[in-house]
Structure 1
């Protein structure tokens, strides 16, 4: 029997909470591929928690070590569009504390222990987005799929080997009422420059050059 890691028809999607992993799994399923959100399907799983390489996750299924998996990809969302969703997500203790435990174990540091970060929800969201995506990119994903760039659907189709179809009926775990509606990019000017530089650099690496330029413009 072929190991699951070696199968060419098994796909592993990484990402960050509130950045489109649920939508991506639903979109892949339109191509008759059994890739599920936070659950292992016959053909794979899309879950932000997989980057932790744990054998037990706070929500549903885990894979453990990702070494050897052939088809790892990363699901991305515009950083500036994601921040209003991440701010309330960070208030969910189970999600937030688990991310911070993983980052502490991987880096030897826990940036959330810094009182300046803990007291600032915007900075906290920027730090989480930056560090978690940096961690995800360490796995050298074969593609970065940007959920808010419809042209990337063709890239994802080629990657999984099936045609996918985006529609208004594609399931979204967007929770539109759970957002910080007062966010404006000008607020970034209040954040520490070193975090904005990393945030901007990551935005460019994920394929959002306009976001990167806007973030950089607010660096003191």
Structure 2
């Protein structure tokens, strides 16, 4: 069935950008568009954030990196809710539109209406488009074959949508991805002017890319969307509280709680700090933070300080760390840093502490086991004795960190002076710190577990001698690498 007037007169093709997995959105579109006179349209499959093209864009340096913020150019604007780095969902959306513009340029159609799959077409759309058609005919808007032109037709619901007593066109920039039209020539210019994924795609195509006389905004807008303002659909970029509100209005408490959990885990702002300190639990992360604090640096232990954070869990990128004293400490994905520092500890003294920790802090052991298995293929549960599990946990965790090329590592037993020198040389501390006498006593010699102190297990020579030969070779590697006496 043909589209009704004026849709068929203005647009040679209508496409709806949609993830193939968005079944509810697609079902909605199939009902909504025919109800407003759009019967002939096609879905353009969006790129998923898990598509290899997204990882490739990051790997090849095509995506703007943080710091600074891709929006304001600062390290931190002070807004806790600011989205200051391009997340995979945003990169995937940009790639989607690059593919769309390539498809338009390679095709035969000249005037394309682009909709997103949460679009809501308003009742006044037909009247506005009829008027727009006359404006185009009269030469006021160059929306025709052979001319680069973008027409912004719909954006987030606002008072603009209800101001239907007067129709007009200007060059006001509106983020009109939900509903916009472009010519084949403008799609070609979008591709030509793209210099990488330096911003969100809506800002690029509606604000950064067009030159004077190429982009036009129609008032009143003929469309809004159902995820950003109404919350009918969950956002595919940033989960939003408005969707929880919508679900609760329907009595769907479980759905609302699920969405709120997504919001809590969602990272859209990064923090930049000079130092990230990571090691194995009970092997000096708290001690290293304390040394830095003595030298005047605000390094938080399992919480963010002004100069950095020390957290053994930040050796890996987890969605949720088991121990965190603030929101940033929940996941390393919320942090960028300048220098990575790793404290290490003698296995002969660390093993008993780690055995005790693995026994009385199950979340710690489970977390380490999961990521050691995932990243190195070693299952700690398959090892025979608590000593072997403790030793291989420390060694494996250090290997995970070494893969990230730390800027500095130091033995906590005898290299605090080297840490002082590193911090001075890299302008993180004043030169006077070189002469500072530090308190090097243990920070938590009697670690409490849920308020209870447990004795550190004694490990005799026989236990070390009975380790499997493969494990002994790993112990030898560790001692050689970090300058410890072989056990």
C-alpha separation in 1, matches of 2:335 and 2:461: 38
Question: In the TM superposition, what whole-angstrom CA distance separates every residue of 1:52-111 from its partner, at most 9, and x where no partner exists?
Answer: 22242110114525996320010111111111111111112111001111112213x342
Question: In the TM superposition, what whole-angstrom CA distance separates every residue of 1:143-179 from its partner, at most 9, and x where no partner exists?
Answer: 1121111xx22221122232254226x6702226644
Larger % of strand: which?
2
TM-score calculated relative to the size of structure 1? 0.82
Contact 1:5 1:70 in 2 (8 A): no
TM-score calculated relative to the size of structure 2? 0.39
> Does residue 1:2 correspond to 2:75, yes or no?
yes
Question: In the TM superposition, what whole-angstrom CA distance separates every residue of 1:33-66 from its partner, at most 9, and x where no partner exists?
Answer: 1011111111001111111222421101145259
Q: CA deviation at 1:194?
A: 0.4
Contact 2:318 2:332 in 1 (8 A): yes
Change (3 A) 1:63 1:72: farther
C-alpha separation in 2, matches of 1:120 and 1:59: 26
Change (3 A) 1:153 1:66: farther
Q: Could you list the runs of 4 or more consecutive aligned residues of structure 1 that deviate by over 4 angstroms after TM superposition?
A: 3-7, 65-68
**Residue 47 of structure 1 aligns with which residue?**
311
Contact 1:30 1:165 in 2 (8 A): no
C-alpha separation in 1, matches of 2:334 and 2:407: 13
C-alpha separation in 2, matches of 1:141 and 1:66: 19
**Residue 438 of structure 2 aligns with which residue?**
166
C-alpha separation in 1, matches of 2:303 and 2:411: 21
**Residue 156 of structure 1 aligns with which residue?**
419
Change (3 A) 1:55 1:111: closer
66-75 vs 181-190, which deviates more? 66-75
**Residue 135 of structure 1 aligns with which residue?**
400
> Does residue 1:200 correspond to 2:468, yes or no?
no
Larger % of helix: which?
1
Q: CA deviation at 1:186?
A: 3.7
Unaligned runs of 5+ in 1: 215-220
C-alpha separation in 2, matches of 1:190 and 1:196: 9
Contact 1:12 1:71 in 2 (8 A): yes
Unaligned runs of 5+ in 2: 1-73, 77-268, 448-452
181-190 vs 58-67, which deviates more? 58-67
Question: Looking at CA atoms only, which structure, 1 or 2, has the larger radius of gyration?
Answer: 2
Higher relative contact order (CA 8 A, sep 6+): 1
**Residue 26 of structure 1 aligns with which residue?**
290
Contact 1:88 1:178 in 2 (8 A): yes
Corresponding residue pairs, total: 203
Where 1:22 maps in the other structure, the secondary structure is helix
Q: C-alpha root-mean-square deviation of aligned residues, in Å?
A: 2.6
Task: Find 2:388's aligned residue among 123, 132, 136.
Answer: 123
